[in-house]
């Protein structure tokens, strides 16, 4: 992330709007962000790196749910916590981020998600039946956009293939 932030001001093109990149790890640049830069050669004027985590308790209090950190150069880090008994609602959490200093409109922001497609490896390390079962389970999982209640017309998925 530090390297990306250092190079962000050297990007020749910054386009208007807000891009929200969902990420598992806040310390690493999301794959979707790197793919976006690689293919489009631009950055949005405001880039939000959003990390959603689940706590080992049933509920998280509203006042402890959202943490916003300004990283500089138009980048923000938003950490959202949900309890294991809660249904994650990212747009609602972003409304709480407004009260923490990040004013953005969910209806005009673009959500970027990384999509990983599993493909069989030419040299598998697992028995074939396990690979087939795992690939079937992964293909039937709920879409992250639906799981996080993201507005369907505001989501872009950038994918990679992973050989197992």
Q: Give pLDDT tens digits for 103-128.
A: 899 999 999 998 888 888 889 888 99
49: enclosing H helix or E strand: strand 43-54
Most confident of 38-42, 51-55, 124-128, 157-161: 51-55
CA distance 69 to 109: 18
Residue 10 has pLDDT above 80, yes or no: no
pTM: 0.87
| Bridging pattern class, strands 110-119 and 66-72 | unpaired
Measured at the CA of 152, the angle between CA 150 and CA 158, to 5 degrees, comes to 85
Strand order across the 14-23 sheet: 66-72, 75-82, 43-54, 14-23, 110-119, 155-163
CA distance 69 to 48: 10
Secondary structure class of 71 (helix, strand, coil): strand
Mean pLDDT of the 71-85 span: 94
Q: Which of 133, 128, 138 is nearest to 161 (CA)?
A: 138
Residue 81 has pLDDT above 70, yes or no: yes
């Amino acid at each position: 992330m530090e390297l990306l932030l250092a190079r962000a001001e050297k990007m020749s093109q910054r386009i208007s709007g807000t891009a929200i990149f969902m990420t598992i790890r806040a310390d690493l640049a999301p794959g979707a962000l790197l793919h976006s830069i690689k293919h489009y050669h631009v950055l949005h004027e405001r880039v939000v790196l959003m990390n959603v985590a689940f706590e080992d308790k049933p509920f998280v209090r509203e006042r402890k749910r959202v943490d916003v950190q300004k990283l500089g150069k138009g980048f923000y880090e938003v950490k959202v916590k949900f309890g294991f008994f809660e249904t994650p609602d990212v747009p609602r959490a972003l409304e709480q981020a407004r009260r923490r200093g990040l004013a953005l409109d969910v209806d005009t922001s673009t959500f970027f998600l990384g999509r990983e497609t599993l493909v069989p490896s030419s040299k598998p390390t697992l028995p074939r039946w396990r690979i087939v079962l795992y690939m079937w389970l992964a293909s039937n999982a709920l879409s992250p956009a639906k799981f996080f209640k993201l507005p369907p017309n505001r989501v872009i998925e950038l994918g990679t293939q992973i050989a197992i």
